[in-house]
Structures are given as structure tokens and as C-alpha cells.
């Protein structure tokens, strides 16, 4: 059997066993299948992060008055007024945090895209399941890449919040509380919640696989 984890539940699907347990039943081998939540988040976040990285790394061409501002980056006129890290204040001050963050966005996005490529290219469809299942080395490589990218996303976003706190909210403190919640806290909070979920789920899968490999015991369904 192949055991896969999706969210907090493990699922088993039949496969051809190479060995048998002492009871005569085939062992449950480690495999990976992303949850629907993970796939939803990747589908939502990757285009947004690519869009955001383009704005940041091509400034000032993408800023108001620049040749690339309209129509793709016009929403950033408003967001740059909400969060000065994205506006003219930080750009004129030669604040390197914005571009440094954008450069890391490129790295983590590349990791996520390789994960998706492996998943779509090597994942096997299983009857009764909405997601493909990865096994063997492709599964191990894919989950390490996605886990690493999620750690990067969470760490970078936490740093983004902490630099505001330790600077006395220098870039967002001018907003009213309703505007701050709607335009800054909620959107940026999503990049704390979903990566934390991915780290928790995929971290558990990695631990399951390492435990099975180091002890010789089969992965148990939950």
C-alpha cells in the first residue's frame, strides 16, 4: 500500500509491494500527494507573487508615471500610499529592503514552480483521488523543494512584519485602522497562514518518511 498525507488525514492506495510484513500484509510505503488547500494556495499565490516581483524589481518603470505602470501595475499606486515600502518614499530613500524581498520572491517562486512541474510530470493519477500521487525520488525531491520554499515564504513575511514593528510602523503607521486591516494586515496575513499550513503538513510527511527509512517500519495511516 502507498500512504499519502493530504491535510491532516492519511490515505492509502494500492501498489505493488516489494516486501511483505511479518503478518503477510504488504507494507505501506511513503508517498506524497498535495492537499487541495496546498494546490489552491499555489494557484492563487504564484501569479500574485510573480506580479509583485515584477513591480518591485522593475521600479521605477512600474511606478506611477513610468512606462510600465499602466495598466498592469496601476493598483500599486494605491498600495504604495498604504505601504510606503512599495511607494516613492522608500524608493527615494534607496531603501534596499523592498528589492531584497523581491529577489527572494524570485528564488522561492522558482522552488514552488519546480515542485509543480514535478507533481504534474511525475504524479500518478489514482482512482477516487482528486490529486495525483508522487512516489520514489520525485516525491522526496518535490516535498523538500516545497517545504523549503514555504519556510522561505514564512520567514520573509515574518521579517516584513517585524521590520515595521521595530521601526515604529514607519511605513504603515499613517493609515487608519480600518484601512490598515483591509489593505495591509489581511492581505499580508495570508502569507503567514498558508505557508505555516504547508510547513506543518509537509514537515509531517518528511518526518514520516525519515522515520520509516531509519527504523525500517512501515508508514502508518492516521
Domain ranges of the chain: 35-204
pTM of the model: 0.85
Cell of 137: 525520488
Please choose, from the candidates 218, 29, 25, the residue with its C-alpha nearest in 3D space to the C-alpha of residue 133: 29
Percentage of the chain exceeding pLDDT 90:
78
Cα distance between residue 161 and residue 82, in whole Å = 14
Averaged pLDDT, 23-42: 81
pLDDT > 50? residue 9: no
First to last CA, the chain: 14
Please choose, from the candidates 154, 136, 140, 163, the residue with its C-alpha nearest in 3D space to the C-alpha of residue 198: 154
Under a CB-based contact definition with an 8 Å cutoff, are residues 61 and 54 in contact?
no
Confidence of residue 10 (pLDDT cuts 50, 70, 90): very low
In tens, the pLDDT along 171-182 reads 999 999 999 999
Amino acid at each position: 500500500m502507498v500512504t499519502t498525507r493530504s491535510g491532516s488525514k492519511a490515505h492509502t492506495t494500492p501498489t505493488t509491494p516489494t516486501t511483505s510484513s511479518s503478518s503477510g500484509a504488504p507494507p505501506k510505503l511513503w508517498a506524497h500527494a498535495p492537499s487541495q488547500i496546498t494546490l489552491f494556495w499555489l494557484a492563487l499565490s504564484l501569479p500574485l507573487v510573480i506580479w509583485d516581483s515584477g513591480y518591485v524589481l522593475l521600479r521605477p518603470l512600474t511606478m506611477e508615471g513610468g512606462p510600465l505602470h499602466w495598466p498592469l501595475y496601476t493598483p500599486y499606486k494605491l498600495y504604495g500610499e498604504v505601504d510606503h515600502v512599495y511607494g516613492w518614499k522608500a524608493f527615494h530613500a534607496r531603501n534596499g529592503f523592498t528589492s531584497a524581498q523581491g529577489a527572494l520572491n524570485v528564488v522561492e517562486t522558482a522552488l514552488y514552480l519546480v515542485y509543480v512541474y514535478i507533481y504534474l510530470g511525475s504524479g500518478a493519477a489514482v482512482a477516487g483521488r482528486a490529486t495525483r500521487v508522487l512516489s520514489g525520488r520525485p516525491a522526496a525531491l518535490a516535498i523538500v523543494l516545497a517545504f523549503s520554499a514555504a519556510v522561505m515564504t514564512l520567514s520573509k513575511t515574518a521579517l516584513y512584519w517585524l521590520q515595521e514593528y521595530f521601526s515604529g510602523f514607519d511605513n504603515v503607521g499613517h493609515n487608519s485602522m480600518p484601512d490598515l486591516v483591509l489593505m495591509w494586515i489581511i492581505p499580508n496575513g495570508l502569507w503567514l497562514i498558508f505557508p505555516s499550513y504547508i510547513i506543518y503538513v509537509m514537515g509531517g510527511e518528511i518526518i514520516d518518511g525519515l522515520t520509516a527509512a531509519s527504523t525500517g517500519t512501515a508508514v502508518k495511516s492516521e
